[in-house]
Structure 1
Amino acid sequence: MRLAGALAEIVTDFPGRADIPGKLCRACHAALPVDGVGLSLMTEGQPDGRLLLGASDEQGVRIEEWQFGLGEGPCVSAFVAGRPVLVPDLQAREACLRWPMFTREAASAGVAAVFAFPLQVGVIGIGVMDCYRSRVGPLAEIAEALAVVDAVTVALLNVEITSGEDAVPEVALFDLSWRTHAVVHQATGALSAELGILVGEALARLRAYAFRYSRPLDEVAADVLSGRLHLTR
């Protein structure tokens, strides 16, 4: 309850709305025995339509970026399943077979374990909280982590308070996350229109190029928008 109150206070009193996600992540990091925390929004029925909120540190940002850019990882799996996905060893055979691209990137950066928890209101999911460690091993504090997840969910839903009494929570949260990867969404729409393909296929094309040439997805998207890169059929 104290944590829920602290997180809610961040949302209602913190002056910069754009800084709320990072502030929440750092508070969660301080409450759990992990090396970092990341938050993402996701839409029911569209797990690929993921919007990054923030992370506690640069390593956390990279973990969220990889999963967003590659379209795979514990985060996506946790949201689809509606239950925690706990991976104490990212280089275990099962993990490597399930998320081959993500586990490769994680290994190169020294990320050894990821614990993903869906953010839910009843059976309705709004996103995922990812916790990571640089060492292999299980997360023993599951009860504490679930309490943090519930507190984060309540705090995120209270973002509507900062937008006025008539604000819609999903819209306020979308505004927070959109600015993080607006260029990716813009490039996806532009590529979809240019090639006459579905938005999902356009995003997959951007991700494939970024993965093949080991480039950040945001950079590839910016090049597409500026005309420096043409991803033809």
Structure 2
Amino acid sequence: MSWAIALAITAAASGQTQPQPAAAPTLTCSVLNETPREREPIRISNLKRVLVRAALIAPPATVDPLRLRPPGAPPQDGNLAVIVRRIAAGRPMVATRPIVIAQATETNRQSLDVSLEIPIDAATRRANIERFLERLGRESTAAGKGEVFQRLAQDHATAVATFERMYMENLVGDFEVACAYASHERGTWNGDLESPAPNPIQVFFESAFFDQREFR
């Protein structure tokens, strides 16, 4: 009798079996800004954040808990990414700024709510901030408050950084939003998932950031 056959008989007799891999979880992704209409994209202002809910459906012991991975961060920093692609030739991915705003755990279901910005490019944003500061300086001088403005804006880098933090203006255009989950933790389901049927959205132009009433 060969060693292979002998080992197989011994394993069967002792009731030893190889552990079965966990079934793949289900990943869903939805845009919450408004109720989607069939075959129509969800319309979102360029001044509003995109609200996304990602849900992972599986027994909790079989999956790694959902953790948002910031764009550009290494895999160990999270296992969930929100992906935005422009609806155009090649479906190119676009940059995003996601923030977790809520999370929930139910029986065999966990979810993360993400507030998402699809920012305009950094050079345009910086130029808009510089123009606003110049405008603010002119208006302050015309109102006889030039010295006050000069004191507030004497540290130009700090003034720019302050407006960088509050600036929120999305790219305008047609996009699709999806979620991706990747787990390679020991003892849980391993693999990569992307939610099916990406969510189409249409970001429309409402106003430039500094043309809003609070900046006039």
Instruction: Name the TM-score, length of structure 1 as normaliser.
Output: 0.21
Instruction: Looking at secondary structure, tell me which structure has more helix per residue.
Output: 1
Instruction: Looking at secondary structure, tell me which structure has more strand per residue.
Output: 2
Instruction: Name the TM-score, length of structure 2 as normaliser.
Output: 0.22
Higher relative contact order (CA 8 A, sep 6+): 2
